[in-house]
Amino acid sequence: MGKELKTNAMRFLDKSKIDYTVQTYECEEFIDGIHTAEKLGQPLEETFKTLVAQGKSGNYFCFLIPVALELDMKKAAKSVGEKSVELIHVKDITKITGYVRGGCTPIGMKKQFMTVIHNSAENLPLFYISGGRIGTQIHLSPQELVKAIRGKFEDIIL
């Protein structure tokens, strides 16, 4: 893949010497994770979406959960040591992360936020996450990702 096609996420993975593959798909604008997974033939339980939330403290956090499931806000808050967290507004995604809706990934953001990945990924050899732009998915090891971004696995879904 040529340098001009690399996203910040891919550059971070290359620098961290983490193996990954890229899947791309034609997409003019945001489509949800379920439709993305179906379009690419990816199992829903192995395809994760990135949600960004802000805690009472003002700090931002990333949560990765399977695309078909919902984040449990209380479990999410507890996992990062906050009293409560709220998902950031869609209009603020680019300003906070540097990514656009549908292309947000926990790697290569403007700033590395504490990241919690749902524990269903812990035993998967590989999983899919956004590649840093709409139309791009990255397939990689959840364990290697957690190590590289100093994240953790926890139960954070409803």
Q: Which CATH number belongs to the domain containing residue 19 in this structure?
A: 3.90.960.10
Q: pTM of the prediction?
A: 0.92
More confident residue, 26 or 141: 141
State the pLDDT at residue 23.
92
Measuring CA to CA, how many Å separate 54 from each of 3, 76, 95, 101? 33, 11, 13, 16
Q: Which residues pair with 47 in a beta bridge?
A: 128
Q: How many domains is the chain built from?
A: 1
Domain that holds residue 11: 3-154
| 11-16-17 Cα angle (round to 5) | 95
Q: Does the pLDDT at position 91 exceed 80?
A: yes
Q: How confident is the model at residue 34 (pLDDT cuts 50, 70, 90)?
A: confident
How many whole angstroms separate alpha carbon 155 and alpha carbon 158? Answer: 9
**pLDDT above 90: percentage of residues in the chain:** 79
The backbone torsions φ and ψ at residue 89, rounded to the nearest 5 degrees and listed phi first, read -70, 145
User: Is residue 2 packed enough to be buried (19+ CB in 10 Å), middle (13-18) or exposed (0-12)?
Assistant: exposed
State the pLDDT at residue 86.
97
